[in-house]
Amino acid sequence: MIIKVCGMRDEQNIAQLKKLNPDFIGLIFYPKSSRFVGETPLSHLSESFAPAKKVGVMVNESEESILKKIADFKLDAVQLHGSESADLCKKLKSRGISVIKAFSIAGEEDIERIADYAGCVDFCLIDTKTPKVGGSGMKFDWNMLNNYPINTPFLLSGGIGPDDAELVKNLNFPAMVGVDLNSKFEISPAVKNIGQLQTFFQQIHKSEK
């Protein structure tokens, strides 16, 4: 199962997280977020996170702005967390950029609109719809994912916490390939509890052996 840890910023905290071997590490470029990394590519944010892939999380940015951040921060992928069009996703993907499109879910109509992005993205990320953009710590009704309309693999996000490993492992959605972890593992905004993450990682991967 893919594990993405989002909302990272602190140099030491990122170094500790890398030792857990997450698949994706997310940096948030949304200025209104308490986890905003800023516009200046500090050295520890622009260096490689390999073997983890560095994902830039952006909200309603222009194609030009997205491409600049990819270059400045040496991003391996982008996560578009606003109302970005399927056409923009497709353009970025055609450039060889790995694209994750986030969808905020409150009702069935939110699930249905995912169908417009078939073939346009590498992954979908399914989050909880709230007044904020991500990082709410709230779950939506996961049963709605029984109606997930496309074959594109997705990551489940929204309120997944340290005690949810067993719950996640028992989910049975064919297109679900991983999870996105953020606020429920935080000591403070953009600083994660590494001990809690390590335990969660071990619980998730234990079932795969």
What's residue 130's pLDDT? 75
Residue-level pLDDT at 127: 93
Catalytically active residues, by annotation: 6, 127
Farthest CA pair distance, the chain: 43
Q: For residues 99 and 93, what is the distance between their CA atoms, to the nearest angstrom?
A: 6
How confident is the model at residue 129, as a pLDDT? 87
Please give the Cα distance from 185 to 188 (Å, whole number): 9
DSSP 8-class letter at 40 = S
Residue with the two structure tokens 């990272």? 8
Please write the tens of the pLDDT for every residue from 9-67.
999 999 999 999 999 999 999 999 999 999 999 999 999 999 999 999 999 999 999 99
Identify the pLDDT of residue 17: 98
Place of tokens 């050295």: 43
What residues of the chain score a pLDDT lower than 70? 131-137, 207-209
Record the pTM. Answer: 0.94
Domains and CATH numbers, the chain: 2-206 (3.20.20.70)
Residue with tokens 């979908």: 124
